Structure 1
Amino acid sequence: MRRIEPRLQRKLLAWLLGPLLLLLALDTATAYFVSLRFANLAYDRALHEIAREIVLHAKPGEGRPRMELSDAAANVLLTDAQDRLYYRVDATDGTLLGGDAELPAPGVLRGRIEPRFRDVELHGEEVRLVSARMPIKTTPGAPEVHVQVAETLHKRTRLAWEMVVSTVLPQLLLIVMATAVVWFGVSRGLQPLQRLRDALANRSHLDLSAIDTHDVPGEVRPLVDEVNELMGRLGTTFDFQNRFVADAAHQLKTPVSGLKAQIELALRETDPERVKHSLAQLYISADRLSRLVRQLLSLARNEPNALDKVQLQPLDLNAFALEVSMDWVPHAIKRSIDLGFEGTDDEPLVIDADRDRLRELINNLIDNAIRYSQPGGRVTVRTGRSADQQVRLAISDDGPSIPVAERQRIFERFHRLLGNQEDGSGLGLAIVSEIATLHGAEITLEEDVDGVGNTFSVFFHSRED
């Protein structure tokens, strides 16, 4: 079964008209009972007058009165076009003098009884009953009788409903008119949303510009603002993706072309030694290509807008930097580089960091230092605290000093120093900068303390215990 789609227009009409209809129902019930009360007041007087007329047909007799009501007189008094009437007359001692014995017997009467009206059941239907004690003559000392007259409720109910209809019908007409006005008003009021829907439906999937909020209702404006903000974030993400694809295509084009050229050269060679040399060159090129792909993926993963968010956990930078540095010892020995570590022994340097990303940051800095240091040079990894008690990670090398004018651009993607013959993609320091940003850290570059080479320093906020 298809689920009914919730619509704002229906909900508004339900909340506006629902209470009105409920009030109309309560008003109808109240009006019916009030109208029935007034109908009873009007017809009770006539019922009391019939009781008076019946008493006029009671005559004094020996010991007790007697009834002399002929059939013709009874037909005149008790005939009604809409209702049936019944009567009963009893002596003061409870003796039935005339009328319908099914009416409730009054019993022995003592004292004067004022006319009393009530609803009872007679012959299987509801009737209105008047009960009163009256003298049979107006002369003082005349004997009294107890007279009861009952009447069915048809004309009373009909009068009550006529009064209800005359009261409620105008209200119902007003509600119908209000429904039409509200429907029209809500439809007109929701037209800006309809135009907004049409504008979005006609948009290209490539159009992420902000939605025009000129004619948007104030209640919907926060939602539209959030959508605009989402589109802005999507635009930034798509720009990043497009830039990444363009950069990747540009950077991969050259090594792939080199690989193809070397493969073609190897295919033409017949000398086993030359083929072996070509395969060695192919391996070197493939290794460079693999490193470039890893760096591109790392750059994408560490983009501030990337979906893979950083997971910060407490970590001792001193012990962790030593662990990562030890992994580079074989590579440093291979390059004849003196790789050293200077840490703190008196206290742990606890920071909030993503372990994998921090390892990547240190790896790139050490790799960069070893790569650009001359054989026999020195690379030192240091941990400690700065003057303002920030946790500091520093990597010093003996490579060519980077000019002051280039120290800001060195962290840009694919930026390489002119005249540098060392192989590289220009992505390592960009990755370091992105990871530092994700950790809320600051990275600086200055000359080494001995005036030879460079020192990259990363300042982390110390974790509050």
Structure 2
Amino acid sequence: MAKAESQPRLQRKLLAWLLVPLAVLLVLDTAVAYWNSLRFANLAYDRALHEIGREIALHVKLEGTQPRLELSEAAANILLLDPEDQLFYRVTAENGASLGGDADLPAPRNGKPAAPDFYGAAVRGEPVRMMVAWMPVGPDAGPPQVLVQVAETLHKRERLTWEMVANVVLPQLLLMVMATAVVWIGVSRGLEPLKRLRRAVSDRSHLDLSPIDTHDVPGEVRPLVDEVNELMARLGRTFDFQNRFVADAAHQLKTPVSGLKAQIELALRENDLQRVRHSLAQLYISADRLSRLVRQLLSLARNEPGALDSMQLQPLDLNAHALEVSMDWVPQAIKRSIDLGFEGAEHPLTINADRDRLRELINNLIDNAIRYTHPGGRVTVQASRTGDGQCRLAISDDGPRIPVAERARIFERFHRLLGTQEDGSGLGLAIVSEIATLHGARITLEEDVDGVGNTFSVFFPLRADERPV
């Protein structure tokens, strides 16, 4: 853990990307410097090797027409004396006869070199630098000529080569060490804001979802920090929704559950079968209300803002769908002696919607209208095109007029109008509002056109291919 903290992965990557290319360049530069130094060392010592060959050729004399080597052992020792390397020579006549020298020297790679030839070879298993040249006998440049071979071991050449390489590479190596130190310090300082950012996040409580301070955050990391802040904001809203839902559920379930317990205790104390039956009937009504409340709470949680990912939007005819849902409420309307009517558009009204959620929206609006309309009243469901790229779903009722001051709060959770005798949790219209928001729709509340009751209108955007051009 301590190693990972002192050398984060990003720091290692940056150092690798910066220093590895420098090391590769240093290796390549060393190779080029060695090749150039070796070439210059060979040029310098090859001249000396050629001069030795010329000196040996001067000791070749003519006896008639035949050349003869007159190089004494003492003269050869002086000519071939070198404190570092060993030299070998051989002189051969034009007819191939050996005139003198070391017989172990290999034959020339090119039997008739037009110019002095220098190349690497081996003598007695040791690498040497070979010089091969045809040289005239006597002062004339013409024939006869002899083939002179001179070989020298490579000790001083290698020493000179590495001295030249060291003079070139050592300053660069020192510079690279200094550059490594500077880069290390620079990368460490440059990553310090990221280390502070990591510490700021790791030191946080799991309950702290406040935004991360973006001061002194590098521009390359700023988008990531912004996304993290946005994520924490969404998590904060989600936790708020969950906490609010848990608090609302606990508050709303407390009363009906207490009522159920009281009715059960009353039924247990009764001995009269008729009264027990009455208590059981009341228990059924209370259980039905509790079941409806639980369904609404779950629906409210399912339609919280942020539930868009679970929606299945598809093309849907609002006109036909509203008619289908309205028909399901006809028995309930007849039971309460309410005239439930539907006024549809002449043409389909295609919108992008989640079928189940849209059904839930219409159900809640019709349920709310029937619940608060007096027997003998009227409830009308209407679907129409507004002409501005939208369509309108309106539910009108003959219920009590909602005061203007209350209309802004009617869509709040658990808000109920004072003086109403109908059972309700105050969640129906809140669910409608949430579903409308998920669909990008707008909901309004006005008085009915006849001055009696209320009209809830939901405006949905039509699909692009349904809008007027």
TM range (shorter): over 0.9
SS at match of 1:134: strand
Counterparts of 1:107 and 1:189 in 2: how far apart (Å)? 63
Partner deviation per Cα, 1:59-84 (whole Å, 9 max, x = no partner): 22122110122333333333434333
CA distance 1:275–1:455, shift in 2 (3 Å): same
Counterparts of 2:251 and 2:181 in 1: how far apart (Å)? 65
* 2:128 matches 1:104: no
Moved more, 417-426 or 69-78: 69-78
The alpha-carbon deviation at position 163 of structure 1 amounts to 1.5
1:93·1:108 contact (CA, 8 Å) conserved in 2? no
Between the two proteins, what is the percent identity of the paired residues?
77
* 2:442 matches 1:442: yes
2:308·2:438 contact (CA, 8 Å) conserved in 1? no
1:92·1:108 contact (CA, 8 Å) conserved in 2? no
Alignment of 1:299-318 (within 5 A): 299-306=300-307, 309-318=310-319
1:447 maps to amino acid: E
1:259 aligned residue: 260
2:426 aligned residue: 426
Counterparts of 1:26 and 1:114 in 2: how far apart (Å)? 34
1:162 aligned residue: 163
Counterparts of 1:462 and 1:427 in 2: how far apart (Å)? 28
CA distance 1:387–1:220, shift in 2 (3 Å): closer
1:91·1:146 contact (CA, 8 Å) conserved in 2? yes
Normalized against structure 2, the TM-score is what? 0.92
1:363 aligned residue: 363
The alpha-carbon deviation at position 154 of structure 1 amounts to 2.8
1:60·1:143 contact (CA, 8 Å) conserved in 2? no
CA distance 1:387–1:335, shift in 2 (3 Å): same
CA distance 1:58–1:436, shift in 2 (3 Å): same
The alpha-carbon deviation at position 124 of structure 1 amounts to 4.2
* 2:86 matches 1:90: no
Partner deviation per Cα, 1:277-323 (whole Å, 9 max, x = no partner): 11111111111111111111111111112375322100111111111
1:35·1:164 contact (CA, 8 Å) conserved in 2? yes
2:76 is aligned, of 70, 74, 77, to 74
SS at match of 1:13: helix
Partner deviation per Cα, 1:79-123 (whole Å, 9 max, x = no partner): 43433322121224443212234432599869xx54332333444
* 2:61 matches 1:59: yes
SS at match of 1:315: strand
1:298·1:431 contact (CA, 8 Å) conserved in 2? yes
Unaligned runs of 5+ in 2: none
2:41 aligned residue: 39
CA distance 1:149–1:367, shift in 2 (3 Å): same
Partner deviation per Cα, 1:198-226 (whole Å, 9 max, x = no partner): 22111111111111122322222221122
1:56·1:137 contact (CA, 8 Å) conserved in 2? yes
Moved more, 409-418 or 125-134: 125-134
CA distance 1:140–1:339, shift in 2 (3 Å): closer
1:22 aligned residue: 24
Partner deviation per Cα, 1:383-434 (whole Å, 9 max, x = no partner): 1212435222111111111112222211111111111111111110111111
Normalized against structure 1, the TM-score is what? 0.92
2:282 maps to amino acid: Q
CA distance 1:142–1:384, shift in 2 (3 Å): closer
CA distance 1:425–1:124, shift in 2 (3 Å): same
Matched residue count? 459
SS at match of 1:410: coil
* 2:293 matches 1:288: no
